[in-house]
Amino acid sequence: MVSTTKTRFSVGVMTRVAILAAAASILFLIQIPIVAFYKLDLSNIPVLLGAFSMGPVPGMMILALKSLIGLLSSSSAGIGELADFIMGTALVLPAALIYQQNKTRKSAIIGMAIGTLCMVVAGVLANKYIMLPFYMGAFHMDMDGILRFANVAGVDSEWKLLLMITGPFNLLKGVVLSVVAGLIYKPLSPILHAKVR
């Protein structure tokens, strides 16, 4: 009897993980240009929904599956997907862990706020040590070339790019993801918690 219940739970969780990962992968293909070469996508909304409804581990599974599927159409030899995974982890993991301790609206907001700040830091570091070096190597550009490509007035050094563009962009992205996930979580909650028979 215990075994059957456990199996049903596992099937239910894995089914929801697969569905949310598919939704995240589709959203990952839809990117809105914001500033310089940064584009906004909403693919971490299904990841947040999964992490809140099932816990941090299924949430991370959804994120990992999204990144693996993204590799199939990667234009950055997987570097972009790695950076996205790092920043997604920085947002989702703190939010899910805090929410899991006390499943209230307040803790969800606090968790997403902390996750957003973590994503800002992770975004700056991932760009500094992963993305920018990759693009400079792949396209045989120096930092001046990157800055010319970014084409943002007043941004004339790597740290200005990171602190004036990368950081604020990830702050905006974290806020947008958090607000949308917060608004749709409750209406979708019956579906997210539905049991697979």
Q: What is the pLDDT along the chain (197 residues), one digit of tens a residue?
A: 444 444 445 788 899 999 999 999 999 999 999 988 899 999 999 999 999 999 999 999 999 999 999 888 877 778 888 989 999 999 999 999 999 999 999 999 999 999 999 999 999 999 999 989 988 888 888 999 899 888 888 899 999 999 999 999 999 999 999 999 999 998 988 888 776 55
Q: Are 72 and 112 in contact (CB under 8 A)?
A: no
Distance CA(69)–CA(195), nearest Å, equals 26
pLDDT at 9: 57
For 71, the domain range is 2-192
Q: Which residues pair with 33 in a beta bridge?
A: 39
Does 99 map to a domain? yes
Does 168 map to a domain? yes
Helix/strand/coil for 153? coil
Does 10 map to a domain? yes
Number of domains in the chain: 1
The model's pTM is: 0.89
Q: Which residues pair with 32 in a beta bridge?
A: 40
What tokens were used for 91?
């947002």
Does 197 map to a domain? no
Does 60 map to a domain? yes
Does 114 map to a domain? yes
CATH number of the domain enclosing 115: 1.10.1760.20
